[in-house]
Every structure is written in structure tokens, then in C-alpha cells.
Amino acid sequence: MNIVRRVSSAALLLSLSVLGVSSAWAQQASQALSSDSAIETIKKRGAIKIGLSIFKPWSMRDKNGELIGFELDVGNKLAEDMGVEAEFIPTAWDGIIPALVAGKFDVIISGMTTTPQRNLTINFTDPYAYSGLTILANTKMTEGMAIEDFNSSDVTFAARRGATPATLIAEMFPEAELLLFDEDGAATQEILNGKAHATMAAEPTPSAEARRYPDVLNVPFDTAFSATGESFGLRKSDPDAINFFNNWINMHTLNGWLKERNDYWFRGVEWESEVPE
């Protein structure tokens, strides 16, 4: 009996010792993860570096060359709540994820939708905005066409390289030719010039462009395609950053701030006088 008790006591002591080592290791690992978080880097730097791509009304240049738009409001409010400065880093869309992974900035806030392919490389927060894509077409070139008529080798689409509309166009209209550009504005210009039949973009851009050029452009179908949410993009293995940004998004969703800013930029037209035509 004494031998059994001694063996049991030794086993218990060994188990407690292992648990103690495991607990200490877990605590050290947790501290290491916390210290490596983008949140700690931002706090020490005193500024949050935000990667974005230029496209209306998410982010754009005003008449003085300053960046304005929905993403700028979001980024500035986020920085204000963190007690740091906001540093915006315009980046070509097809290089924005590699730039994040390389550490050029802390977070992508640029109307990016979550896709399985992107999620293999970076992590995403909960959505902070929602939008759908509509077709913007050259009226003369597409008059009388049904949506299935756009899936033809005689039809040319234009879109921003690497963006969701380009992917969706290729999926929905595989027979059509697809021209790719670095900015949404260049794609729209192709439609205006009659060099492409149509493009796709998130509202309100197509409707705004149709109002701007009513004799040339129109939104032919009252249908929003791929209505998904937009999220912040983050480097992997950063649970602290995911937790903070998700809580921030949740708070400003519930208090209505994100909706108010989204309505201003996506439903209003007051800001249009601030940007070049």
C-alpha cells in the first residue's frame, strides 16, 4: 500500500511539474504572440499604416490632391480611437496583398471582399461594409442586349486588374474579351471611348457614372451581382489584431457610425463637387 501511495504521489508530482512547464510555456507563447502583434507595433510607432487602392468613392484624390473617401474616414476614425496617427499608403490593387505580407503596412482597408483564394494568404476581419456589383455599359454599343448576349466573343469588357469585378466578369462571361487596367477610371474611360462594351463595379460608381454621362453610359440591368461584405485584410498569426479590429467594427456598426459614413459616400452626392471631373 505504501509503495502504491509513493508511486501515486510521484506520478502526481510529475503531472503537476509537467502542467507547470506547459502553463509557463503557454504563457510565454501567448506573450510572444502579443508582442509580435500589429497592434503593439502600431502603439509603439504612434501611427497605423493603412494600405489602400484608389477607386471612388472608397478612396480618391480631391481637387487639392488630398486623399478623401469612405476608407479615409474609416482609417482616420480607427486611428483616432487607437490614439495614433493614420498613414495611408496608396498601392496598386494587384500588389496590395503582397505588400501587406511584406510588412509595407499594418492593414488593408480598401473595400476588399473575402475570397477563399485571398484567405489562403491573409486573414480577414468581420465585414465593415457591404456592396454589390452592377454592369455599366456603353448605351449605343449594347442597345437591346439581354444579359446572356454579353457572353460573346464580340463583346469586350474592361475592369481593374486583380479586383473582384474582373474575376466575376471572367466567370459570368467567359466568351467575352476582358481588358485589364490598374484603376477603375481607366476601365470606365474605355467604355466612354467605345473601345469596350461594358464594365462591372461596386455601387454607387456605375450609377454615378451613368448620371454623369447620360448620353453615353447606362446601368442596363437592375441587378446586383456578388453582393458580399468588405473586410480589413491582416497578416496571418495575429489573433490580437483580429480581436481588436473585429470589436472596433462591431462597436461602430452598432452605434451607427459606419452606416452614416457609408450612406454619405455611397448614397449621397455632396462630395462629388470636391473631386475633379
Assign domain 42-129+239-274 to its CATH superfamily: Periplasmic binding protein-like II (3.40.190.10)
Is the pTM here over 0.75, yes or no?
Answer: no
Q: Secondary structure of the chain: what % helix, strand, coil (to 5)? A: 50, 25, 25
| Grid coordinates given for 235 | 497578416
Q: Can you give the pLDDT of all 277 residues of the chain as single tens digits? A: 555 445 455 555 556 555 555 554 444 444 444 568 999 999 999 999 999 999 888 999 999 999 999 999 999 999 999 999 999 999 999 999 999 999 999 999 999 989 899 999 999 999 999 878 999 999 999 999 999 999 999 999 999 998 889 999 999 999 999 999 988 789 999 999 999 999 998 877 888 899 889 999 999 998 888 777 899 999 999 999 999 999 999 999 999 999 999 889 987 788 989 999 7
Helices (H) and strands (E) in the chain, counts: 11, 11
Assign domain 132-226 to its CATH superfamily: Periplasmic binding protein-like II (3.40.190.10)
Asked whether 202 and 147 are in contact (CB, 8 A), the reply is no
The confidence score (pLDDT) of residue 91 equals: 96
The confidence score (pLDDT) of residue 30 equals: 45
Asked whether 49 and 104 are in contact (CB, 8 A), the reply is yes
In the chain, where does the domain assigned CATH 3.40.190.10 lie? 42-129+239-274, 132-226
